[in-house]
Structure 1
Amino acid sequence: MIKEIYTTRATAKGGREGQVKSENGELDVDVRGPSSKGNYLNPEILFAGGYAACFDNAIIGVLHLKKIKEATHETTVKVTLGEIKKQQYGFEIEITVAFGNLDLKLAKEVINLAHEMCPYSNATRGNVKVNLEVKKL
C-alpha cells in the first residue's frame, strides 16, 4: 500500500479512435492510433510526455538532494510500441537526459538515482525494457 500524495482520473471513450478527458477538464483530446493520417495525439505520445515530465522532476529532486545548483538538463523519452508475440503488445523505452554544467560521470549517477525515484520508472521496472542515456546539452 502506498502513502497517497495525489490521485486523478482520466476517462477514454472509443479506444484509440476516440477521446480522452481528465476529471479536471484540462486534458480533453481526440486520440488516434499510430497509423492514422494527420496530426493526432495517441496513447504513446501521452505516455512519453508524462514519463518525460515525471523523470525530469525526479532529476530536479536528485540535484536538490546532492546540492548541485549549476546543472541544466532536459529529458526526452522515446516510447516504442511493438508486438511481443502474436496479439500481445508492449513497450520499449529510451530515456535520454542532456546535461549542461555537469560532468558525464556525475550525470550518470544522477539519472540512475532519478530512475529509482521516478514513479513511472517504478511502475515499469521489471516489465518494460528501459534504456538510460546521458549526453551533453
Structure 2
Amino acid sequence: MPVLTSAATAQGGREGVVRSSDDLIHLELGMPKDGGGAVGKSNPEQLFAAGYASCFDGAFNLIAKKAKKDVESSTTAHVSLEKDPEDDGFKISVKLAVEVKGVSQEEAEDLLQKAHEFCPYSKATRGNIEVDLEITAE
C-alpha cells in the first residue's frame, strides 16, 4: 500500500510543459541553453536531479540520525544525458556529491554507502544507470 503518490503530467515532451497535480510545479521545458535551447526553461534531467538530490540528502540524514551522528549535509545530483551506443539513443548517468559536517571522512563514507542502500531513488536506479558517489567531510 503506497505511503504517498504524487502525479505530474507532461505535454509536448522536451519542448512542452510539465505540471504537478497540485500545480506546485508548472514548468516550461526546453533544451538547456548550452545545448542550443532557450534560457529560462527546465529539462527532465534537472527535475530528476532535484528529486534524487533531495531524496538522497533525506536518506543520508536519516541514516546519520540512526547512527547517532549529528551532521549537516548537502547533496548535489549531477544528472548527465549521454549517447547510448547500445541502441543509438540516449541514457542518463548520475554523480551524487555530498558535503557533510560533523563526522570524519571515514564515518562519512560509511554513512554514504548506507544511504545509497536505503534511498528510494538509489533503489529505483540500481542496476539501471551508472551512479557515482562522492563525499567530502569538512
Partner in structure 2 of residue 16 of structure 1: 14
What TM-score comes out, normalization by structure 1 length? Answer: 0.93
Partner in structure 1 of residue 121 of structure 2: 120
Matched letter for residue 109 of structure 2: K
- Tell me the secondary structure at the aligned position of residue 47 of structure 1: helix
Partner in structure 1 of residue 67 of structure 2: 66
| Unaligned 5+ runs, structure 2 | none
- Tell me the secondary structure at the aligned position of residue 117 of structure 2: helix
User: In the TM superposition, what whole-angstrom CA distance separates every residue of 1:22-74 from its partner, at most 9, and x where no partner exists?
Assistant: 011101111112321312111000100110000000011101111112x2111
Partner in structure 2 of residue 32 of structure 1: 30
Higher mean C-alpha displacement, 40-49 vs 27-36: 27-36
- Tell me the secondary structure at the aligned position of residue 91 of structure 1: strand
The Cα RMSD (Å) is 1.2
Matched letter for residue 116 of structure 2: H
User: In the TM superposition, what whole-angstrom CA distance separates every residue of 1:66-106 from its partner, at most 9, and x where no partner exists?
Assistant: 1112x211101101101112532111110010011210101
Partner in structure 2 of residue 51 of structure 1: 52
Q: Tell me how far apart the structure 1 counterparts of residues 131 and 48 of structure 2 sit (CA, whole Å).
A: 14
| Paired-residue identity, % | 35
What TM-score comes out, normalization by structure 2 length? Answer: 0.92
Q: Does 1:82 align with 2:88?
A: no
| Unaligned 5+ runs, structure 1 | none
Pairs aligned (count) = 134
Maintained 8 Å contact 2:101/2:137 = yes
Q: Tell me how far apart the structure 2 counterparts of residues 99 and 60 of structure 1 sit (CA, whole Å).
A: 10
